[in-house]
Structures are given as C-alpha cells and as structure tokens.
C-alpha cells in the first residue's frame, strides 16, 4: 500500500476505534437488557438503534470534524450524518437518508439462485425485481471518512447462530461496498463510501456473539479490514463483555 494511503487507513482505523469506545461507554449492557425485557418483541433492532445508538453519534462527530464544530453550530454535523430513521431526520440530528439512488440486481440478504430466477422472470410483477439499498446510517463529507453502517442487535442465540449473524453482517457490508459510486441527485446523497462498518450489540445472556467474534479465525478478521475495508464493531467491549 502506498505510504499516503496507508496513513489514511491508519487514521480511519483510529476514527472507527474511537467511535467504538464512545458507543461502548454510552451503552451499558444492563440498560439495554432492561429495555429489551420491558419492550418484549417490540424492542427490536430498528428501535434499539434509534433509541440508543444513533442519538450518540452527533457527539462523537462533533469531536472529529474538521474544522472543529462548536455546540452552537451543528449544521456540519447534520451534513455529515445520514440515518434511515425518520425520527432523527425530523429532529435535525441527521440531514438525509442513506438510501441509494439506484436500484440493484441483488439484495443484502444473500444469494438464492432459484429465488432470483423466479423473481427475474416473474411476469406478474408481484415482487420487486431490483432493490434499493438503505443502510442504517452513514457518514459523508464534511466527515473525513465516508463510511456506511449496518447495525445489528443480537438478543439471544447459541454460538452457531452468533457465527451466522457475523457472517451475514460482514456479507452485507461487503454488498454495500460493491455498489458503484454514483453522483448526488435531488433526493439522494452520493454513494461513494470508502469503508463499511458492521455494528453488532450482543445482549444475549451467554454472550454468544462476543465469544464468536473473539474465536473468529485471525486471518478472516485481518482480511475484513485490510483487504475489504470492513470494520467490525462488536459491543459490549469493555467490562460488560467480561
């Protein structure tokens, strides 16, 4: 890797590691578990991200944007922050949706050849033959690092299910980065992300996913970031993960 590119990648690593630490400090495991117990089935992944994760993003961006942003001027933070959540866009924490302007041939859920054949040759048009991508959130300029995020909440499951969740999440990040870069239009921001980040919060009783990540083959972990530009963020990572 060219020295200049290597320095950019190193700084991107520091930026995403800092975000991981920031979110880990803001998301106590017991608080998340109490919310799940109280909410039951309605305490799902989308509402977890909307309630706990996304509101903590502006504070971190405020520390990292160049030039530095004061508490009285959050316009740059809004410009840098894209979120699927309509609530965050409505309260002006995020500026727009990260949804893609284009529709693509495949989806982020994997490749089932039989299903795709049926879908593409469906004359009844009962399903969508192409699909628009909408990640959970993303960073763009004026943030120094253009990153697209896939967020997951792992509520329960054994080691095998945890491993499958990691594989699926990493694949989905790979899928997002495979999209061709597109220019901005009147509705959608440009799709020109340099990195993808898989955010997974493990709220399971036996910490299956945290353990699965720790046990993952080292070569696979290294390839995620070094060759695929995918940063995997598994929380809790501090004392709650012990």
- Pull the structure tokens for residue 37: 């117990």
| pLDDT average, residue stretch 57-74 | 74
pLDDT over 90 at 122, yes or no: no
What is this structure's pTM? Answer: 0.90
| pLDDT average, residue stretch 88-95 | 89
**Range from 2-11, 91-100, 137-146 carrying the lowest mean pLDDT:** 2-11
User: 3-class DSSP state for residue 112?
Assistant: coil
pLDDT over 60 at 70, yes or no: no
Segment 193-242, tens digit of pLDDT: 999 999 999 999 999 999 999 999 999 999 999 999 999 999 999 777 76
Check residue 8 and give its pLDDT: 92
In angstroms, what CA-CA distances link 187 with 1, 92, 101, 109, 178?
A: 36, 16, 8, 25, 21
**Residue 182's CB: how many other CB atoms inside 10 A?**
14
Please report the sign of the dihedral spanned by the C-alpha atoms of residue 151, residue 195, residue 193, residue 101: negative
Check residue 68 and give its pLDDT: 58
Q: Are strands 103-104 and 131-132 parallel, antiparallel or unpaired?
A: antiparallel
Check residue 229 and give its pLDDT: 98
pLDDT over 80 at 88, yes or no: yes
pLDDT over 80 at 125, yes or no: no
- The Cα 79–Cα 168 span in angstroms is 30
Rg over alpha carbons for the chain, rounded to the nearest Å, is 18
**Range from 23-32, 85-94, 187-196 carrying the lowest mean pLDDT:** 85-94
Count the helices and strands in the chain (H runs, E runs).
Answer: 10, 7
| pLDDT average, residue stretch 160-186 | 94
User: 3-class DSSP state for residue 135?
Assistant: coil
Check residue 126 and give its pLDDT: 60
Q: Are strands 137-139 and 81-83 parallel, antiparallel or unpaired?
A: antiparallel
pLDDT over 80 at 4, yes or no: no
Check residue 238 and give its pLDDT: 76
| pLDDT average, residue stretch 104-110 | 81
Helix or strand holding residue 57 (H, E): helix 57-64
The pLDDT confidence band at residue 71, using thresholds 50, 70 and 90, is low
Question: How many Cα atoms occupy the beta-carbon half-sphere of 112 within 13 Å?
Answer: 7
DSSP 158-201: -HHHHHHHHHHHHHHHHHHHTSPPB---SSS--B--SEEEEEEE
Higher pLDDT, 82 or 116: 82
């Amino acid at each position: 890797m060219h020295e200049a590119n290597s320095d950019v990648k190193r700084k991107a690593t520091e930026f995403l590691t800092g975000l991981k630490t920031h979110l880990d400090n803001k998301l106590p495991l017991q608080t998340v578990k109490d919310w799940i117990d109280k909410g039951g089935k309605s305490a799902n992944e989308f509402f977890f991200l909307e309630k706990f994760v996304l509101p903590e993003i502006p504070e971190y961006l405020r520390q990292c944007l160049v030039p530095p942003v004061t508490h009285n001027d959050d316009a740059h933070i809004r410009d840098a922050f894209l979120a699927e959540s309509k609530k965050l866009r409505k309260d002006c924490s995020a500026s727009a949706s990260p949804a893609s302007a284009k529709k693509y041939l495949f989806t982020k859920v994997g490749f089932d050849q039989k299903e795709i054949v049926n879908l593409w040759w469906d004359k009844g048009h009962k399903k969508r033959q192409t699909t628009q991508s909408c990640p959970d959130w993303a960073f763009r300029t004026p943030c120094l690092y253009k990153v697209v995020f896939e967020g997951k909440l792992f509520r329960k499951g054994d080691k095998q299910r945890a491993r499958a969740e990691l594989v699926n999440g990493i694949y989905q990040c790979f899928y997002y980065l495979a999209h061709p870069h597109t220019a901005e239009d009147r509705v959608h921001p440009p799709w020109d992300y340099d990195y993808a980040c898989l955010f997974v919060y493990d709220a399971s009783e036996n910490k299956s996913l945290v353990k699965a990540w720790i046990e993952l083959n080292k070569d696979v972990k290294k390839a995620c970031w070094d060759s695929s530009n995918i940063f995997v963020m598994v929380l809790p990572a501090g004392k709650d993960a012990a």
